[in-house]
Structure 1
Amino acid sequence: MRSRPILAISAAALTVALAGCTAASATSNSSAASTASGAEAEAADTSLTDVQDAGVLIVGTEGTYRPFTYHEDGSGDLTGYDVEVIKAVADQLGVEVQFEETQWDAIFAGLDAGRFDVIANQVSITPEREQKYEFSEPYTYSTGVVVVADTNTDITSVESLAGKRTAQSLTSNWYTMAEEAGAEIEPVEGWAQAVALVRDGRVDATVNDLLTYLDYAQQGDNQGLRIAVQTDDVSRSAFAFAQGSDALVAAIDQALADLQADGTLESLSRQFFGADVSVAPAL
């Protein structure tokens, strides 16, 4: 007679226990979901809002790399193509700009450490850098060029450098290009020495970057020289950011698009290079 009530009580107790376990499991799952949500919130991209809240975009740059980032003679003010472009971008974002001048060898370490929001220093986009950093849309495009004396009509392509003498810095990628084309290399320390040899007729040509030649021409120093060949290899330079800066990158990309549309980028390009280097060349 007592066994049935005892079973009933046990069943009831079991039901309550199971219900308690289910509730505890639900609570545990809810707590885990809440914790995950909190972790996601902590990991949220605040790169743009941080800049907006601070009212300033902190920019890493060298300040010693003419014509991209350097100090004007006389006034000492920081200027250059990259400097003026990032200033225009900051205006589009509605914030001030603060430059942190850093040697090139330490500039990426500064970005990694959070010392600045972005690097503006003619940073070339490479596969290796893209694995570690984020980049804006390019604001500078360049190619290689073969520079010869005005009177030289023999060199019409990279291939025609075969058997010719070219002046090259031994540590540059342009040395490799000239060597692979079959040129005989005259080692030099840099651009100024190379073009002096070309002008004097001691070598047939020098291979270098288009931007280097344009800056040289902008100073009025290219008399007696001309570009004989423009290579098919196009380099792209952009602003560099730490990983996780998607929101800031998107905002700066939009600012660059607006500056391209209103002619600001072209104007700055022509100011520093005498040509529009803000668009990809038509090869």
Structure 2
Amino acid sequence: MKKKIFAMMLAASMTVALIGCGSSPKSAADSQDHLARIKAAGKITIATEGVWAPFTYHDEATDELIGFDVEVAAAIAEKLGVEPEFKEVAFDGGLTGVSTGTFDMMANGVDVTEERSKTYDFTAPYAYDHAVVVTLASNDTITSFENLNGLKTANSAGSTYEAMGREYGAEVMNVDTLGETMTLVSNGTVDATINANTSVQDYIKTTGTTDLKVAAVDSDVTLYGIPLAKGSDNDTLREAIDKAIEELRADGTLAEISIKYFGVDITAE
């Protein structure tokens, strides 16, 4: 009988212990959302390519990471009260890293699209652009996006421009940089490339090339936003970035950065 009572008491005590373990309060870190964790760390990790002028690239003289998106992201970080920590990765790697939590955000002229919005929560747009088709200046057969059907184009893997090429029936070659895409068009390896009008105009102006031209302009406006991992964990971070963008637009900072890199203000719709 004593053994039976002892066993019952032991089982009861173990049950209480297990209940106590299961109901222990979460640590402060576990209860913090993404914005709180970023502020606690004092920094925000930002994915960017570093090879797409004038959005994100390296100064030839100093090798410093510079560009429109780099300065905008740094200004947003300052508004959040943290230091920006840029991580240079391929475009598709940056997007994947945001969704997996490797990076806090991405600043790389990321188009806000219906398809991407299924995976990411985007901030309010901070800039506006148009997609264009670039061909050899001597090419008079490509005058629209529809003319790309059955032809070869080149673009960064995972980019909106890659997707557009495939949608219009082109065979798309994946490359890493804008310069590579332009070279492939220039030497006839591909028939065309699709890219942002702002980047194309900057490339033509910077290189002085007369071999290339803009053959077609998409009438739809491209919205550039900052993608965050989808979910309520990022609600306050998205709201804070939206507020920062609004303030940077209102005080003229966005326009100033845009004019510095593009010569025009692409931050006003």
TM-score with structure 1 setting the length: 0.63
Gaps of 5+ in 2: 1-22, 174-179
- The 1-side partners of 2:56 and 2:40 are apart by 27
The corresponding residue for 2:249 is 260
- The 1-side partners of 2:145 and 2:100 are apart by 45
Are 2:74 and 1:87 equivalent residues in the alignment?
yes
- The 2-side partners of 1:91 and 1:116 are apart by 17
1:67 alignment partner, SS class: coil
Q: Compared with structure 1, are the counterparts of its residues 138 and 227 closer, same or farther at alpha carbon in structure 2 (3 Å cutoff)?
A: same
1:123 alignment partner, SS class: coil
Partner residue of 1:103 out of 81, 90, 97: 90
Are 2:56 and 1:69 equivalent residues in the alignment?
yes
Are 2:178 and 1:190 equivalent residues in the alignment?
no
| Contact kept in structure 2, 1:45 and 1:247, CA below 8 Å | no
Q: Compared with structure 1, are the counterparts of its residues 65 and 150 closer, same or farther at alpha carbon in structure 2 (3 Å cutoff)?
A: closer
Q: Compared with structure 1, are the counterparts of its residues 167 and 130 closer, same or farther at alpha carbon in structure 2 (3 Å cutoff)?
A: closer
Question: Deviation at 1:84?
Answer: 1.0
Percent of aligned positions that are identical = 32
Question: Deviation at 1:43?
Answer: 8.2
RMSD between superposed Cα atoms in Å: 4.1
Gaps of 5+ in 1: 1-34, 198-204
2:103 alignment partner, SS class: coil
- The 1-side partners of 2:96 and 2:192 are apart by 34
| Contact kept in structure 2, 1:150 and 1:224, CA below 8 Å | yes
| Contact kept in structure 2, 1:169 and 1:190, CA below 8 Å | yes
- The 1-side partners of 2:251 and 2:123 are apart by 19
1:58 alignment partner, SS class: strand
| Contact kept in structure 1, 2:154 and 2:192, CA below 8 Å | no
2:78 alignment partner, SS class: helix
Question: Deviation at 1:85?
Answer: 0.7
Aligned pairs for 1:1-283 (under 5 A) are: 46-145=33-132, 158=144, 168-169=153-154, 172=162, 175=165, 190-194=181-185, 208-209=194-195, 210-219=197-206, 221=208, 223=210, 230-242=217-229, 243=231, 244-280=233-269
- The 2-side partners of 1:232 and 1:248 are apart by 32
- The 1-side partners of 2:133 and 2:97 are apart by 36
Larger radius of gyration: 1
| Contact kept in structure 1, 2:185 and 2:193, CA below 8 Å | no
| Contact kept in structure 2, 1:71 and 1:78, CA below 8 Å | yes
1:89 alignment partner, SS class: helix
1:264 alignment partner AA: T
| Contact kept in structure 1, 2:136 and 2:213, CA below 8 Å | yes
| Contact kept in structure 2, 1:214 and 1:274, CA below 8 Å | no
Cα deviation 1:37-94 (Å, max 9, x = unaligned): x89x998662222222322222122333333222222322111221111001112222
TM-score with structure 2 setting the length: 0.65
- The 1-side partners of 2:137 and 2:93 are apart by 41
Question: Deviation at 1:110?
Answer: 2.6
1:254 alignment partner AA: K
